[in-house]
């Protein structure tokens, strides 16, 4: 992934948060916690991953709009496909 350091940092923070939340879900299941608690935490993991994915796609869209000559430059169709993969 390419982009400015701030954007990459935001994506990494979201992914690390999701990683920690997922570890929490695993621990909750191992400890026999209630379904409601597990599902609530699992939903938080899902949202964190979605937000990281949307940030990555938004960065790609911004690069496409600004005409960045990045070798990973994506077409509109490729960006749409990525966006829909998260929907």
Between CA 2 and CA 38 the distance in angstroms is 34
Q: pLDDT per position in the chain (87 positions), as tens?
A: 666 788 889 889 999 999 999 999 999 999 999 999 999 999 999 999 988 888 888 877 776 666 655 556 667 787 778 777 877
At how many degrees (to 10) do helices 76-86 and 35-66 cross? 170
Q: How much is the pLDDT for 2?
A: 64
Q: How much is the pLDDT for 8?
A: 86
Domain count, the chain: 1
Residues of the domain holding 51 = 5-86
CATH number at residue 9: 1.20.58.1000
Q: How much is the pLDDT for 59?
A: 79
């Amino acid at each position: 992934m390419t982009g400015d350091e701030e954007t990459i940092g935001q994506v990494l923070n979201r992914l690390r948060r999701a990683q920690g939340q997922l570890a929490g879900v695993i621990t909750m299941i191992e400890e026999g916690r209630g379904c409601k608690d597990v599902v609530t935490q699992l939903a938080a993991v899902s949202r964190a991953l979605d937000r990281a994915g949307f940030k990555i796609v938004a960065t790609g869209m911004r690069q496409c709009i600004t005409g960045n000559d990045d070798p990973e430059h994506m077409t509109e169709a490729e960006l749409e496909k990525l966006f829909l993969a998260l929907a």
